[in-house]
Structure 1
Amino acid sequence: MTLAVVGLVLAAVLVWPGQVPGGLRRSGPAALTSRVPAWVPWRRSGDGRVQDLESLAGVADLLAMALRSGATPVAAVEVVSREAPRAWRGVLAEVRDELAAGGAAGAVWRRHAAHRPELGAVAGAWALSEDLGVALAPSMTTSAQVLRARVQARRRLEASTAGARATMRMLTLLPLVGLLAGFAFGLTPWEVYGHSVVTLTCAVVGLVLTAVGWLVCRWVLARAVAPKEHP
């Protein structure tokens, strides 16, 4: 039975909701050169994606600054790519090569945006500039503002669901209080739950219901925070 208890604790740790990220970081070269922590892959959709949005906003700001200073798009992309985070260096390198060859870089942005949705704002702004002749520097500035607005919205969303996640953690750990009480009286988990078929069955059913509860709660939270499209 001790293995079942350990399994419950490990399951709670594995599905432990991530912490709400801290305040917004500075944009600019200092922010771009900071490395993104090595988060667990399945948590990439949370804090990791927020950091990608934030770093991409910094890239768009630097592009706008370089363009306003009189640099050509090729030179601007070349300069920014040296300071950009690793996540965006490959995209910037392809954009630079396409511009150097005289092609349309908007198609490169859109191709990558199909796999990295956070690139959609920059891809749309660049394509708009190429198709309609809109000034590229203001378009990049607007893209940076849009990306930072998404960061703030995502963080507000994380904060609004913090209470529900805390409740999930508390209800998951609450059954362990019984085990701690048993330890206080010198009883092992097997002596608490394994002395009869009924108690052992209740313990197994409790583990199953806990797992089901986590799945249902995570599904409800995912539905609650999912973006909605309004006609």
Structure 2
Amino acid sequence: MILLAAVCVCAGVIAWPVRGGPVGPRPRRRWWRAALPRRSRPGADLDAITGMLEGIGPALAAGVTPATAVATSATLAATSVTRPGLGGDLAHLGRRAGDGDELAPQWARLYARHRIAALDDIARAWALSEQLGCPIGDALRATTTMLREQVDLQRCIAAATAGPRATMQLLTALPILGVAIAALIGVPPWQLYSGRLGMAVLILGALFVTAGRLLTRRMIRRASAPAALS
């Protein structure tokens, strides 16, 4: 039982839980793909939001009504995001726009739920446009520029941390690979870790692997966090 528990701990560390996909319509997936967790990709989500805003601007310039432009762009963006709830909220925005509702509260709701700074700017600009008739094109262009810079920054961070993450995965897999190699040469795991010393080594190894992964993730997260202005 102890051996089984240690193996389960190692397997659970490798298959660390990740956030699921968005709420709302999404393409059908095969059963064996549906059983796998869908990774949340913030860079891809920001890219989808940026594409949505970039689609709204030219549509407004071409004479399309704001409701139609937002409804079309938001519905398309809802199918390509991975953050939990974001897809459903974008689809909700598209439906509200199609119904002719005021959109400033909907943009503010998106910002309140997902804390994407650009959405707050869009909510404020849209409120001014609805109340005073101010043009929204300049605000959309400034927001998309800011989002593009944020997406580029996240991609640079992902590229810079790819090496440490790969090393973390390799160092996690090596102990488990050693057990598999021992089994191939005729030493089953229950003999390899038999006795009190074997059980102690197995449990300590599982704890060290878990602690190493947690520490590495914390170091990567702190290194990639934005620095505070002094």
TM-score, scaled to structure 1: 0.73
Give 1:10's aligned amino acid.
A
CA distance in 2, matches of 1:65, 1:2: 62
* Deviation digits for residues 79-132 of structure 1 (CA, Å, limit 9, x no counterpart): 4355443421212333454xx45x5x32331122011123x3144135235438
Answer yes or no: is 1:136 the counterpart of 2:136: yes
| Identity across the alignment (%) | 25
Q: Which residue of 2 aligns with 1:124?
A: 121
Does the aligned pair in 1 maintain the 2:60–2:69 contact within 8 Å? yes
CA distance in 2, matches of 1:183, 1:82: 52
Q: Which residue of 2 aligns with 1:10?
A: 11
TM-score, scaled to structure 2: 0.73
* Deviation digits for residues 29-80 of structure 1 (CA, Å, limit 9, x no counterpart): xxxxx96987836x42xx1x32221111111111101111123323433443
Does the aligned pair in 2 maintain the 1:63–1:76 contact within 8 Å? yes
CA distance in 2, matches of 1:148, 1:109: 19
**For residues 45-84 of structure 1, what are the structure 2 equivalents within 5 Å?**
47=41, 49-81=42-74, 83-84=76-77
Does the aligned pair in 1 maintain the 2:68–2:97 contact within 8 Å? no
The gaps in structure 2 that reach 5 residues or longer are 19-25, 80-86
Q: CA RMSD in A?
A: 3.3
From the superposition, tell whether residues 58 and 178 of structure 1 become closer, same or farther in structure 2 (CA, over 3 Å): closer
* Deviation digits for residues 109-163 of structure 1 (CA, Å, limit 9, x no counterpart): 1122011123x31441352354386531232122222222222211211111111
Does the aligned pair in 2 maintain the 1:106–1:123 contact within 8 Å? no
Give 2:161's aligned amino acid.
T
Q: Which residue of 2 aligns with 1:208?
A: 207
From the superposition, tell whether residues 182 and 78 of structure 1 become closer, same or farther in structure 2 (CA, over 3 Å): closer
Aligned length: 207
The gaps in structure 1 that reach 5 residues or longer are 18-33
